[in-house]
Amino acid sequence: MFVDQVKVYVKGGDGGNGAVSFRREKYVPLGGPAGGDGGQGGDVVFVVDEGLRTLVDFRYQRHFKAPRGEHGRNKSQHGAGAEDMIVRVPPGTTVIDDDTKEVIADLVEQGQRAVIAKGGRGGRGNIRFANSSNPAPHISENGEPGQERYIVMELKLIADVGLVGYPSVGKSTLLSSVTAAKPKIAAYHFTTLTPNLGVVDLGEQSFVMADLPGLIEGAHEGVGLGHQFLRHVERTRLIVHVIDMAAVDGRDPYEDYLQINRELTMYNLKLEDRPQIVVANKMELPGAEENLRIFKEKAPGVKVYEISAATRQGVQELMYAIGDTLATIPDKPAVEEVAEVEERVVFRAEKEPEAFEITRDNEVFVVSGEKIEKLVRMTNLNSYDAAQRFARQMRSMGVDDALRKLGAKDGDTVRIGKLEFDFVE
């Protein structure tokens, strides 16, 4: 089964919780805090594996969650960091954030790695909170939650040559005549539903050729096989445009040529500059010679290779011409632009990280904001000292004053993330 697009869920491991502990050695007066920090959560890392060719494995496993870090221990022992979760993907995989539509990674080379969901940092143990005014704190932090997101994975085949054209122009026949590939060939449109790859061996030179599903008008908007076809064209170094010069289906070969090029350009403007070889196929059929003469009159600057894929007439000369053209093109597939890691974050607050907003949900005051919600998740609310520290931080951020201005009174319910508590004026 050829699968070239899937949606999956990834989550980095949560950080381990910090510990609350104290030294109790016999000869150490006033022992002091000794709770260690939690360990770092594991990252979800995608790695390119040339042995994979499709995304079919991701049809059956759609959730990837990295392990969490170990919790801190007594005697100032920090918890161990978790191992990263390694997920192997085929070359040519583009990873896109499903919410922001941002390209997270474009993985094309063997062994290439990308962190897709970063693990959370470990929470601090009580040894980190000791100071002159509180030498024996009962405060520790919970581990930071790992980043989580839904992603869309798209596979764009990495081939040297892509065969494009309307359905039933002879692309599959051409591929089968020059490679060992066995694509399905039949006398109806859209016989090819998934890309087929084959290796053309010219002795001292060889290249990979892909027979891609047929295009029709409106393909750039998803009509027909639309995007399932077009995404694979983006990786090819050379486009071989196959035209049914015998006009078996009654279409004008020149209009076919213009329409296919329009669809390529409207899908991705960069394809307009991709090197292209035009092939007039089915030259053994009646009317092909006359149609070719008219085509050359309408497109005088276009070099056309005349072939018959069925009888192999002119096919070998075409393969050598493709090989010569590839020798002049850099052997590097086109890659999507990916933001630098420092510029890319999983969660983007619309306001500054310090900011928050308060809304009403019936009688409940709902406080939301990146920093305040993270603070709740990392506070150990089972500890009185930690809860008091959280209350002080809320006051310093201005949350208490904002609630009072909105009319909050003693006993009103306030919700921050999953935490609900009564407001005390």
- Give the annotated binding-site residues for GTP: 165-172, 190-194, 211-214, 281-284, 308-310
Distance of alpha carbon 384 from alpha carbon 376, whole angstroms: 14
CB 367 within 8 A of CB 358: yes
Distance of alpha carbon 38 from alpha carbon 65, whole angstroms: 18
The tokens describing 249, both together, are 């289906």
DSSP code of 26? Answer: T
Distance of alpha carbon 114 from alpha carbon 45, whole angstroms: 6
Secondary structure class of 86 (helix, strand, coil): strand
Residue that has been written with the tokens 């170990």 in this structure: 70
Positions at the binding site: 165-172, 190-194, 211-214, 281-284, 308-310
Say which residues have a Cβ less than 8 Å from residue 227's Cβ, sequence separation at least 6. Answer: 219, 267
Distance of alpha carbon 116 from alpha carbon 63, whole angstroms: 13
Distance of alpha carbon 327 from alpha carbon 329, whole angstroms: 6
Distance of alpha carbon 283 from alpha carbon 102, whole angstroms: 46
CB 264 within 8 A of CB 40: no
H-only helix segments in 99-225: 171-178
Residue 374 buriedness (CB in 10 A; 0-12 / 13-18 / 19+) = middle
Distance of alpha carbon 265 from alpha carbon 272, whole angstroms: 5
β-strand partners of 85:
44
Closest alpha carbon to 308 in 279, 291, 278, 284: 284
Positions at the binding site for Mg(2+): 172, 192
- Work out whether the CA dihedral 325, 331, 332, 333 comes out positive or negative: positive
Q: Which helix (H) or strand (E) holds 355?
A: none
Distance of alpha carbon 149 from alpha carbon 116, whole angstroms: 9
Say which residues have a Cβ less than 8 Å from residue 73's Cβ, sequence separation at least 6. Answer: 19, 21, 35, 36, 79
